[in-house]
């Protein structure tokens, strides 16, 4: 299926590894020129080379912290008029909310709410002018079904979700869409890190802990980032202009409900 994205430009944030990388790869496979960001230059260069080799698409890298003003400015300087923006950043640490101070919360809100909002602000008028824009925010299944140890993620991402719920309806008439992808457990470094505490407590390795948990999941396994990337590319497709303000849960059916 041709998604009609050949020749478009995408800014994919936090994309040297995991879900961001998978989104960049899937878009590049559709002929999109991608600008990818991450803090660690070495991994970023390696990922860029892998995407170029696999797709032949143009890949530009920007090494920097996307949650900082300087990091965002550099990313936007490298890709000032993206047709596609994939918002992503590292997730806040797990823990007990009693241990979190104001600075911890500000960091989480900065990374997982304000950074995507400021990037949207920077690019959306250009998208409106060109009558094409696709914005995908990587949030979390925790927005729909809170994860007790990830309180800062539950809170900050819910704030972003509320904001874009409103904004998405104001820009849809210009063929600019904003949607959120809500990952459940996908096999990435982040999943391994957030499972480490429970694994230690149960005396299992991270792999054993995940395999044990997965037995109770409808798919019996964690998600493959490739599956996540493909969902992202679909939301960005030329023909996806009628998908507006949605929260697509990609959790292998883990959230138990009859609908939605």
DSSP 12-80: ESS-SSHHHHHHHHHHHHTT-EEEEEES-HHHHHHHHHHHHHHH---EEEEES-TTSHHHHHHHHHHSS
- Alpha-carbon gap, residue 188 to 28, rounded angstroms: 20
Secondary structure (3-state) at 91? coil
User: Judged by CB under 6 A, which of 30, 65, 83, 209 binds ligand NAP?
Assistant: 65
Which residue has tokens 């390795």? 205
Strand 84-87's sheet: what is its strand order? 59-63, 33-38, 9-12, 84-87, 133-138, 176-183, 247-250
Hey, what are 168's tokens? Answer: 């998405």
51 is an interface residue for ligand NAP by CB under 6 A: no
By the 8 A CB rule, do 39 and 64 touch?
Answer: yes
The site map against ligand NAP for 125-154 (x = CB under 6 A) is -------------x-xx-------------
User: Judged by CB under 6 A, which of 40, 46, 205, 219 binds ligand NAP?
Assistant: 40
212 is an interface residue for ligand NAP by CB under 6 A: no
User: Judged by CB under 6 A, which of 82, 94, 116, 183 binds ligand NAP?
Assistant: 183
16 is an interface residue for ligand NAP by CB under 6 A: yes
Q: How far is the CB of 21 from ligand NAP (least distance, A)?
A: 6
By the 8 A CB rule, do 251 and 165 touch?
Answer: no
Give the range of 36-44, 49-57, 95-103, 165-173 binding ligand NAP by CB under 6 A. Answer: 36-44
Nearer to ligand NAP, 20 or 245 (CB): 20
Give the range of 48-56, 184-192, 200-208, 236-244 binding ligand NAP by CB under 6 A. Answer: 184-192
Q: Which residues of this protein are in contact with ligand NAP, per CB under 6 A?
A: 14-20, 37-40, 43, 65-67, 88-91, 138, 140-141, 183, 185-186, 188-191
């Amino acid at each position: 299926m041709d998604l009609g994205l050949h020749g478009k430009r995408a800014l994919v944030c936090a994309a040297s590894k995991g879900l961001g990388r998978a989104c960049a790869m899937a878009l590049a496979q559709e002929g999109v020129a991608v600008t990818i960001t991450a803090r660690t230059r070495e991994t970023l260069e390696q990922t860029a080379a892998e995407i170029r080799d696999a797709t032949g698409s143009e890949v530009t890298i920007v090494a920097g912290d996307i949650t900082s003003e300087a990091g965002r400015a550099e990313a936007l300087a490298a890709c000032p008029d993206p047709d596609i923006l994939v918002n992503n950043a590292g997730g806040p640490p797990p823990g007990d909310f009693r241990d979190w101070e104001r600075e911890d919360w500000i960091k989480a809100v900065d990374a997982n709410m304000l950074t995507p909002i400021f990037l949207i602000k920077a690019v959306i008028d250009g998208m409106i002018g060109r009558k094409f824009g696709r914005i995908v925010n990587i949030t979390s299944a925790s927005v729909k079904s809170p994860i007790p140890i990830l309180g800062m993620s539950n809170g900050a991402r819910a704030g972003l979700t509320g904001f874009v719920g409103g904004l998405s309806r104001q820009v849809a008439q210009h063929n600019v869409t904003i949607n959120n992808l809500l990952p459940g457990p996908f096999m990435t470094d982040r999943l391994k890190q957030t499972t480490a505490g429970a694994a230690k407590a149960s005396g299992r390795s991270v792999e054993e802990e995940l395999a044990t948990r997965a037995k109770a999941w409808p798919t019996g396994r964690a998600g493959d980032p490739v599956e996540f990337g493909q969902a992202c590319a679909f939301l960005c497709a030329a023909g996806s202009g009628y998908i507006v303000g949605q929260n697509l849960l990609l959790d292998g059916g883990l959230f138990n409900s009859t609908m939605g």
